[in-house]
Structure 1
Amino acid sequence: MPQTPQGTATSAAREILTRLHDVMAARTNAQAKLNQVVQIIGEAMHSEVCSIYLLRDGVLELYATRGLRQESVHVTKLALGEGLVGKIAEQVETLNLDEATSHPDFAYKPETGEELYHSFAGVPIVRREQAVGVLAVQHEASRRYAGIEIEALQTVAMVLAELIAGAGLIDDAASRSASRDQGAVRLTGLKLVEGMGRGHVVFHQPRIHIEHTVAEDTEAERHRVYAAFRQMREQIERMTSQAEFGVAGEHQDVLNTYKMFAYDEGWGRRINEAIDSGLTAEAAIERVQQRTRMRMREISDPLLADRMHDLEDLSNRLLRIVSGQLGTAAQLGLRQDSILIARNLGPAELLEYDKRRLKGVVLEEGSLTAHVTIVARAMGVPVVGRVRSIRRMVAEGDFLLLDGNQASVFVRPTPLMEDAFDAKLVVTQKRRAEFAAMRDLPPCSKDAKRITLMVNAGLRDDVAALDVTGADGIGLFRTEFQFLVSATLPRRETQQRLYRDVLESAGDRPVIFRTVDIGGDKALPYMKGGDDEDREENPAMGWRAIRLALDRDALMKAQARALIEAAAGRTLNVMFPMVSEPWEFDQAQALFEAQRAWVAGRNRAVPHAIRYGTMLEVPALAEMLDVLLPKLDFLSIGTNDLTQFLFAADRAHPKLAERYDWLSPAILRFLARVAKQTIAAGVQIGGCGEMGGRTLEAMALIGLGIERLSITPAAIGPVKAMIRSLDVAALRAEMPAWLASGTHDMRGVLSGWAAEQGVNIA
Structure 2
Amino acid sequence: MSGTAAARQILTGLHELMATRQSAQEKLDRTVEIVGEALDSEVCSIYLLRSGMLELSATRGLNQSAVHVTRMAVGEGLTGTLVSNRATLNLAQAKAHPDFQYRPETGEEKFSSFAGVPIVYRERAVGALNVQHVEPRRYEDVEIEALQTTAMVLSELIVNAGLIDERSAEEAAPERSGSAQLTGLTLVAGLATGSAVFHQPRITIDKVVAEDTEFERQRVYRAFERMREQIDQMAQQAEFGSGGEHDEVLAAYKAFAYDEGWSRRINEAIDAGLTAEAAIERVQQRTRMRMREIDDPLLADRMHDLEDLSNRLLRIVSGQMGTAATTGLKDDAILIARNLGPAELLEYDRRRLKGVILEEGSLTAHVVIVARAMGIPVLGRVRGLRGVVGEGDDLLLDADGGVAHVRPQPSVVEAFEARFAKSKERRAAYAELRDVEPFTRCGTRIQVMMNAGLRDDLTTLQLVGADGIGLFRTEFQFLVSATLPQREKQTRFYKDVLEAAGDKPVVFRTVDIGGDKAVPYLSNDSSLEDENPAMGWRALRLALEREGLFKAQARALIEASGGKTLRVMFPMVSEPWEFDAARKVFEQQLDFLRQHKRIMLPEAIEYGAMIEVPSLVEVLDQLLPKVSFVSVGTNDLTQFLFAADRANPKLAARYDWLSPSILRFLKRIVDASRGHDVTLGLCGEMGGRRLEALALLGLGYRRLSITPVSVGPIKELIRQIDLAEVGAFMNGLVAQPPADTRAAIAAWAQERGIDVD
TM-score of the pair, normalised by structure 2: 0.79
- Alignment equivalent of 2:10, drawn from 12, 16, 35: 16
Contact 1:123 1:136 in 2 (8 A): no
Aligned-partner Cα distance in 2 for 1:407–1:360: 13
Deviation track 1:728-757 (CA, whole Å, cap 9, x = no partner) reads 233334433333332234344434443454
Aligned-partner Cα distance in 2 for 1:732–1:338: 45
Contact 1:251 1:375 in 2 (8 A): no
- Residue 226 of structure 1 and its aligned partner are, at CA, apart by 8.7
- Residue 369 of structure 1 and its aligned partner are, at CA, apart by 6.9
Q: CA 1:544 to 1:130, structure 2 compared with 1: closer, same or farther past 3 Å?
A: farther
SS at match of 1:508: coil
Equivalence for 1:304: 302
Task: Report matched runs for 1:541-690 at 5 Å.
Answer: 541-550=535-544, 552-597=546-591, 600=594, 602-603=596-597, 605=599, 607-690=602-685
Aligned-partner Cα distance in 1 for 2:472–2:326: 38
Amino acid at match of 2:243: Q
Amino acid at match of 2:576: P
Aligned-partner Cα distance in 1 for 2:595–2:582: 20
Aligned-partner Cα distance in 2 for 1:62–1:340: 40
Stretch of structure 1 that moved more, 335-344 or 156-165: 335-344
1:438 aligns with 2:429: no
Aligned-partner Cα distance in 1 for 2:98–2:513: 36
- Residue 676 of structure 1 and its aligned partner are, at CA, apart by 0.9
Deviation track 1:458-480 (CA, whole Å, cap 9, x = no partner) reads 21221222211221111112233
Amino acid at match of 1:304: R
- Residue 271 of structure 1 and its aligned partner are, at CA, apart by 5.9
SS at match of 2:617: helix
Aligned-partner Cα distance in 2 for 1:311–1:160: 26
Amino acid at match of 2:19: A
Equivalence for 2:149: 155
Amino acid at match of 2:736: S
Equivalence for 1:456: 451
RMSD of the alignment, in Å? 5.0
Task: Report matched runs for 1:339-354 at 5 Å.
Answer: 339-344=334-339
- Alignment equivalent of 2:711, drawn from 701, 711, 716: 716
Q: CA 1:42 to 1:212, structure 2 compared with 1: closer, same or farther past 3 Å?
A: same
Deviation track 1:664-714 (CA, whole Å, cap 9, x = no partner) reads 333222222220111233322111112211223212212222111111111
Aligned-partner Cα distance in 2 for 1:550–1:93: 46
Aligned-partner Cα distance in 1 for 2:641–2:467: 30
Amino acid at match of 1:254: E
Q: CA 1:561 to 1:463, structure 2 compared with 1: closer, same or farther past 3 Å?
A: same
Aligned-partner Cα distance in 2 for 1:140–1:718: 67
Aligned-partner Cα distance in 2 for 1:548–1:30: 64
Identity of aligned residues (%): 54
Aligned-partner Cα distance in 2 for 1:136–1:634: 67
Amino acid at match of 1:458: G
Deviation track 1:624-658 (CA, whole Å, cap 9, x = no partner) reads 22233233322212222333443444444445444
SS at match of 1:250: coil
Aligned-partner Cα distance in 2 for 1:736–1:64: 74
1:469 aligns with 2:464: yes
1:191 aligns with 2:162: no
- Alignment equivalent of 1:705, drawn from 700, 720, 724: 700
Contact 2:245 2:343 in 1 (8 A): no
- Alignment equivalent of 1:253, drawn from 235, 240, 244: 244
Stretch of structure 1 that moved more, 559-568 or 441-450: 559-568
Task: Report matched runs for 1:50-61 at 5 Å.
Answer: 51-52=44-45, 54=47
- Alignment equivalent of 1:168, drawn from 160, 164, 168: 164
Q: CA 1:104 to 1:675, structure 2 compared with 1: closer, same or farther past 3 Å?
A: farther
Aligned-partner Cα distance in 1 for 2:18–2:387: 31
Structure 2: 5+ residue stretches without partners: none
Contact 1:515 1:575 in 2 (8 A): yes
Q: CA 1:720 to 1:317, structure 2 compared with 1: closer, same or farther past 3 Å?
A: same
Amino acid at match of 2:691: L
Aligned-partner Cα distance in 2 for 1:734–1:65: 74
- Residue 614 of structure 1 and its aligned partner are, at CA, apart by 2.2
Contact 2:375 2:709 in 1 (8 A): no
Aligned-partner Cα distance in 2 for 1:454–1:552: 31
Deviation track 1:131-162 (CA, whole Å, cap 9, x = no partner) reads 54255587979898576x66555433321222
TM-score of the pair, normalised by structure 1: 0.79
Q: CA 1:330 to 1:137, structure 2 compared with 1: closer, same or farther past 3 Å?
A: farther
SS at match of 1:168: coil
Deviation track 1:10-67 (CA, whole Å, cap 9, x = no partner) reads 677544322121223344455654554454345545x455745647589988876668
Aligned-partner Cα distance in 2 for 1:548–1:604: 31
Aligned-partner Cα distance in 2 for 1:104–1:519: 42
Contact 1:309 1:345 in 2 (8 A): no
Amino acid at match of 1:703: G
Amino acid at match of 2:34: I
Contact 1:457 1:474 in 2 (8 A): yes
Equivalence for 2:720: 725
- Alignment equivalent of 1:742, drawn from 737, 747, 755: 737
- Residue 447 of structure 1 and its aligned partner are, at CA, apart by 2.2
SS at match of 1:726: coil
Amino acid at match of 1:638: G
Stretch of structure 1 that moved more, 221-230 or 631-640: 221-230
Aligned-partner Cα distance in 2 for 1:558–1:60: 64
Deviation track 1:607-638 (CA, whole Å, cap 9, x = no partner) reads 44433322222333322222332333222122
Contact 1:460 1:501 in 2 (8 A): no
Aligned-partner Cα distance in 1 for 2:598–2:77: 68
Deviation track 1:502-556 (CA, whole Å, cap 9, x = no partner) reads 22222332222223334444445664477796473x5444444344444555544
Aligned-partner Cα distance in 1 for 2:460–2:10: 61
- Residue 350 of structure 1 and its aligned partner are, at CA, apart by 7.0
Deviation track 1:402-450 (CA, whole Å, cap 9, x = no partner) reads 3456654232334443344333433333333332222222222222211
Aligned-partner Cα distance in 2 for 1:741–1:360: 42
Aligned-partner Cα distance in 2 for 1:506–1:546: 26
Contact 2:683 2:706 in 1 (8 A): yes
Amino acid at match of 2:663: L
Aligned length: 737
Deviation track 1:145-200 (CA, whole Å, cap 9, x = no partner) reads 576x665554333212223444118966974556x6624646444335x7654333
Deviation track 1:572-600 (CA, whole Å, cap 9, x = no partner) reads 32323333333443444444444545555
Q: CA 1:351 to 1:296, structure 2 compared with 1: closer, same or farther past 3 Å?
A: farther
Contact 1:384 1:408 in 2 (8 A): yes
Amino acid at match of 2:450: V
Amino acid at match of 2:13: R
- Alignment equivalent of 2:442, drawn from 447, 451, 459: 447
Aligned-partner Cα distance in 2 for 1:301–1:597: 44
Task: Report matched runs for 1:213-612 at 5 Å.
Answer: 213-218=208-213, 248-254=239-245, 274-291=269-286, 293-294=288-289, 300-301=298-299, 304-305=302-303, 307-315=305-313, 317-318=315-316, 321=319, 337-344=332-339, 359-367=354-362, 383-403=378-398, 408-524=403-519, 527-528=522-523, 534=529, 536=531, 538-550=532-544, 552-597=546-591, 600=594, 602-603=596-597, 605=599, 607-612=602-607
